[in-house]
């Protein structure tokens, strides 16, 4: 490839040239002005640019690339390791974001990915985020950039859209991949135990504290702490969580000793935290601290074209007793792609798994699908999809309870939550299971 390298640091420019010149034609530019002139003079296959340069800087170079008739892909290699820089680079079309000093392996990996895209080689799915829709492609493009930043990421999206899958991807793609990944659902934590669960406690701090206990922040040291349903964080502890995120230090319950916190925090919520802030149920300063970076997982109904790829991905995880690959009929796939999926990817996964069990070694037929998808006229004619997220969640839980015969433990497993969370949702949504 013909690669344009832009950096005002002569040493960095020389190092990049030595990394690439063996297999590629390298055009080195020491300023944005020369780079923009070169882009207008001759086409290139890839641009590797720094951001923090005297004007015109790397952002200006990327804006100039947008004006070209055939813009080349852009990868950023910069010392500006900040959320603002990453977000702006992504907005301007960067496909990769490396923080200086970038290793030879990291640079060559970026170039390899660009070469494969030019050759039409399909990219490997990121942590199960499969599908070719623009919505999923956007999330996959953001994942490596978000993973390399140090800031807190707030992952938004309806229940079942894959927020924890994305959190795993950010951990695996980032510099903390060799550390622990600790995931915790806030809704499953009793308020009276939350402080000890998160921050730990010292021996004798309260009745029953017979030994020192390391909280979630300490358990995630050197790795990632994922706080799911962070909107359920107890109001009385939100100020303490903010202090830990801001200062990087904490104290165990019953201890005066400060401990350094070394965990990157990712948070997720299916609820609009801005609305909770407006209602006085969530601290505004904590909200803005959590959403230093923000990404939204789209609901499945907005990218139904990804359903076939997701079905094949889920079937690949299921082993047929005969060793044969499981498959679905054309009519079955038609039903699956016409359904609104109020429970999103989690509901689709559970539907595929239960249908595969009923189908045995044979192909999955429409009759093997859950009741909501077995309507004669197709799933789209069964009923109008719920108009609100609350209604969609209520209808999804109702259907799962019906399929499980009122068995709450089985329903909780199908929903991917614990029995206590299901019980709280049943009370909140005024649902009672049918007789078993």
Q: Where do the domains of the chain lie?
A: 2-121, 149-296, 302-428
Instruction: Among 1.10.8.60, 1.20.120.450, 3.40.50.620, 1.10.10.10, name the CATH number for the domain at 302-428.
Output: 1.10.8.60
Helical H segments across 42-82, by residue range: 58-66
Strand order in the sheet with 181-185: 181-185, 224-228, 264-269, 153-156, 293-296
Q: What is the pLDDT of residue 136?
A: 85
- The partner residues of 228 in beta bridges, in order of sequence, read 185
Q: What is the mean pLDDT of residues 261-287?
A: 93
Smallest Cα–Cα separation from 416: which of 143, 169, 188, 139? 188
Among 179-188, 212-221, 300-309, 370-379, which is the least confidently predicted range? 370-379
Average the pLDDT over each of 235-239, 327-331, 413-417 and give the range with the smallest value. Answer: 413-417
> Is the CATH number of domain 149-296 3.40.50.1360?
no
Tokens representing 26?
Answer: 């390298």
So what's the pLDDT on residue 99? 76
- Res. 80 pLDDT band, cuts 50 70 90: low
Helix/strand/coil for 145: helix
Q: CB count, 10 Å around CB of 208? A: 7
Position 168 scores a pLDDT of 94
CA atoms lying within 13 Å on the CB side of residue 59:
12
User: Exposure string (b/e) for 326-362, b if CB count within 10 Å is 16 or more?
Assistant: bbbeeebbebbbbbbbbbbbbbbbbbbeebbeebeee
2-121 adopts what CATH topology?
Rossmann fold (3.40.50)
Helix, strand or coil, per DSSP, at residue 369: coil
| Lowest-confidence region among 119-123, 156-160, 306-310, 350-354 | 119-123
Res. 294: pLDDT tops 60: yes
Strands 249-251 and 2-6, how do they pair? Answer: unpaired
Tell me whether domains 2-121 and 149-296 share a fold.
Answer: yes
Residue 152 region by backbone torsions, left for phi larger than 0, else alpha for psi between -120 and 50, else beta: beta
**Alpha helix ranges (H) inside 210-272:** 216-219, 235-247
Query: Which pLDDT does position 283 carry in this prediction?
Result: 95
User: Does pLDDT of 250 surpass 60?
Assistant: yes
User: Measuring CA to CA, which residue among 266, 269, 271, 272 is closest to residue 292?
Assistant: 266
Q: Is the pLDDT of residue 375 over 80?
A: no
- Kindly give, in sequence order, each residue whose CB lies less than 8 Å from that of residue 413, ignoring residues fewer than 6 positions away: none
More confident residue, 80 or 358: 358
What percent of the chain clears pLDDT 70, i.e. is strictly above it? 90
Whether 300 and 348 have beta carbons less than 8 Å apart is answered as yes
Q: Where are the alpha helices (DSSP H) in 83-210?
A: 83-91, 104-118, 134-148, 163-173, 194-199
d(CA 423, CA 431): 9
- pLDDT, the chain, mean: 85
- What does 401-421 look like in DSSP terms, one character per residue? HHHTTT-HHHHHHHHTS-HHH
pTM score, whole prediction: 0.68
Q: How far apart are CA 114 and CA 127, in angstroms?
A: 20
Rounded to the nearest 5 percent, the helix, strand and coil shares of the chain are 50, 15, 40
pLDDT band at 377 (very low <50, low <70, confident <90, very high): very low
Which residue shows structure tokens 């690339």? 65
């Amino acid at each position: 490839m013909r690669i344009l390298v832009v950096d005002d640091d002569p040493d960095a420019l020389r190092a990049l040239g030595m990394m690439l010149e063996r297999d590629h034609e390298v055009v080195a530019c020491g300023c944005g002005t020369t780079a923009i002139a070169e882009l207008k003079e001759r086409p290139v296959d890839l641009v590797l640019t720094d951001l923090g340069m005297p004007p015109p800087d790397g952002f200006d170079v990327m804006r100039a690339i947008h004006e070209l008739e055939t813009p080349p892909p852009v990868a950023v290699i910069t010392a500006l390791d900040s959320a603002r820089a990453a977000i702006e680079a992504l907005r301007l079309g960067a496909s990769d974001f490396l923080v200086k000093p970038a290793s030879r392996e990291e640079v060559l990996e970026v170039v390899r990915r660009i070469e494969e895209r030019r050759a039409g080689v399909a990219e490997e799915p990121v942590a199960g985020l499969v599908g070719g829709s623009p919505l999923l492609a956007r999330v996959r493009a953001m994942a490596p950039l978000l993973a390399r930043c140090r800031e807190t990421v707030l992952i938004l999206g309806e229940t079942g859209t894959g927020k924890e899958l994305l959190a795993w991807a950010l951990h695996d793609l980032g510099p903390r991949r060799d550390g622990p990944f600790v995931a915790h659902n806030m809704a499953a934590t009793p308020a009276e135990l939350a402080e000890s669960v998160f921050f730990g406690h010292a021996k004798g701090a309260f009745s029953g504290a017979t030994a020192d206990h390391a909280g979630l922040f300490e358990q995630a040291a050197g790795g990632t702490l994922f706080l799911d349903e962070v909107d359920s964080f107890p109001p009385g502890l939100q100020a303490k969580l903010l202090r830990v995120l801001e200062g990087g230090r904490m104290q165990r319950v019953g201890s005066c000793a400060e401990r350094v916190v070394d965990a990157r925090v990712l948070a997720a919520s299916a609820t609009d935290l801005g609305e909770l802030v407006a209602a006085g149920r969530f601290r505004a300063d904590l909200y803005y601290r959590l959403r230093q970076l923000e990404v939204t997982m789209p609901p499945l109904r907005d990218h139904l074209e990804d359903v076939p790829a997701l079905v094949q991905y889920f079937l690949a995880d299921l082993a047929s007793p005969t060793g044969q690959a499981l498959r679905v009929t054309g009519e079955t796939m038609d039903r699956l792609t016409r359904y609104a999926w109020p429970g999103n990817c989690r509901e689709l996964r559970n539907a595929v798994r239960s249908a595969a069990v009923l189908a045995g070694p044979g192909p999955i037929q429409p009759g093997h699908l859950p009741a909501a998808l077995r309507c004669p006229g197709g799933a789209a004619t069964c009923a109008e999809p719920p108009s609100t997220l609350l209604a969609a969640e209520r209808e999804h839980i109702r259907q799962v309870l019906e399929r499980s015969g009122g068995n709450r433990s089985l329903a909780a497993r199908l929903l991917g939550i614990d029995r206590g969370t299901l019980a709280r949702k049943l009370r909140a949504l005024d649902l009672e299971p049918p007789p078993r």
